[in-house]
Amino acid sequence: MKRISVIGLNYLRTPVEIREKFYFTKQELPEALKRLSRIDTVSEAMILSTCNRTEAVIVSTGGKKTAELAAETLSSLRNISRGKIRKYFYNFYGADAVSHIFNVASGLDSMVVGESEVTGQFKDAYNLAAAEKTTGAVLLTLYQSAMAAVKKIRAKTSVSQGNVSVSYCAVNLATQVFHGLSDKKVLIIGAGEMANSAATGFIKKGSMGADVINKTYSKAVDMAEKYGGRAYGFDSLEEALENADIVLCSTASPEPVLTKKIVGDVMSKRGHRELFIIDIAVPRDVEDGVKNIKGVHLYDIDGLKKTASNSVSMRKSEVSKAGKIVVELVKTFEKDLYMREAAPIVGVIKRRIYDIAVRESAVTAKQKGLSTQERENLEKTIIATVDRVIASHMAELKKRIGKGAAEKNGLINTVKEVFKGYE
């Protein structure tokens, strides 16, 4: 039977220096999806790659062996020995995989619990895979069910209410360090969604404005005007750094934009003024050696975990409610998936039963010398009776699948037990 597996690594067990190696850009994902799809037992695949996780979601008939092949594929795409990073990977299978996906899509598995950014990222991941034709009926149903889970959790709980995002945590961290931001100069490197979210947060926390530097200067100008700051091009990076107290980095650059040399040169001109840098990009925007420069305080995305966990503790009851919703929705999804897989098997049994019923009605009609109309009426009556019998068996099948019989004993065995004597 086709089952869903999740293979990946995330912020909970994998440091950012490993996660960034497994980050796949939008341009890299098509090839990665094709490579996964070439595994013999894989029929469908999608990849979610964000700052906090990279996960392959596959539909296969190969079970855990296929999951291991998928992990090896991801490793080979990054030219990394599987043995060196095996401890970081996790694998969820069947109902556990579905539960994990629902938790991820709804933000319950995020570093900042309840954040909505991952929902959009999950949508983008599915749509890209669909465009690459690596999805099918199972992943479509999974995607639709995950979105239904997101909707229900947001409607029934307040787990996503308020400011819950990585950007929000970054702003909070800066506020805590400086005990307020009213006299601090903020520089945002990047002009994407997270950069804008951070700029909004800095303004709300009292900053007088946010300077912006971006590869596309026009975007920097637009964003700086919006947040009351000054726009810079990357040719003015050192000047921008000299003027800043707080720097937030959030670009999509594959290489560091703040190197040890650049920051070292800037710090030599700042006197005793310290520089606070928050790097929420993956791959990281700031070279690792920058943290060793005197006067520089560098936090990467993993450094926000404590701030994020504090925000979670205030919403524990809501997280618990959301978790219960996920449990019920997973049961429904699994039952529907098994029933879909059972349909061809049940269809064969149905046709066999109908054939027997029609043959027996024909024999009876001949023996009794029934007229054409009487034969048709007899056949209709017998078929209606068969339909009721099959319906009762289908109800029993759904009941057993709902209680986990198919997971425990296998789908085919469960169908045979329910339709014993007909198979």
270 residue type, one letter: R
Q: Give the number of other CB atoms < 10 A from CB of residue 290.
A: 22
Please identify which of the residues 16, 48, 51, 171 carries the catalytic annotation.
Answer: 51
pLDDT in tens, 137-187: 999 999 999 999 999 999 999 887 766 688 888 998 898 888 889 889 999
Q: What are the extents of the domains in the chain?
A: 3-162, 166-304, 335-418
Does residue 169 have an active-site annotation?
no
Residue 366, classified by CB atoms within 10 Å of its CB into exposed (0-12), middle (13-18) or buried (19+), is exposed
Residue whose entry in the numeric block shows the structure tokens 């200067």: 217
Residue 348 has pLDDT above 90, yes or no: no
Architecture of domain 3-162: 2-Layer Sandwich (3.30)
Sign of CA dihedral 175, 176, 180, 181: negative
pLDDT in tens, 271-280: 889 999 999 9
pLDDT in tens, 279-328: 999 999 999 999 999 999 999 999 888 777 766 665 677 889 999 999 99
Q: Which CATH number fits domain 166-304: 3.40.50.1100, 3.40.50.300, 3.40.50.720, 3.40.50.450?
A: 3.40.50.720
What are the structure tokens assigned to 10, written together?
Answer: 């995330």
Global pTM value: 0.83
Across the range 35-61, mean pLDDT stands at 97
Smallest CA-to-CA distance from 1 within 417, 406, 416, 420 is with: 406
Give CA–CA dist 309/362, Å, rounded: 72
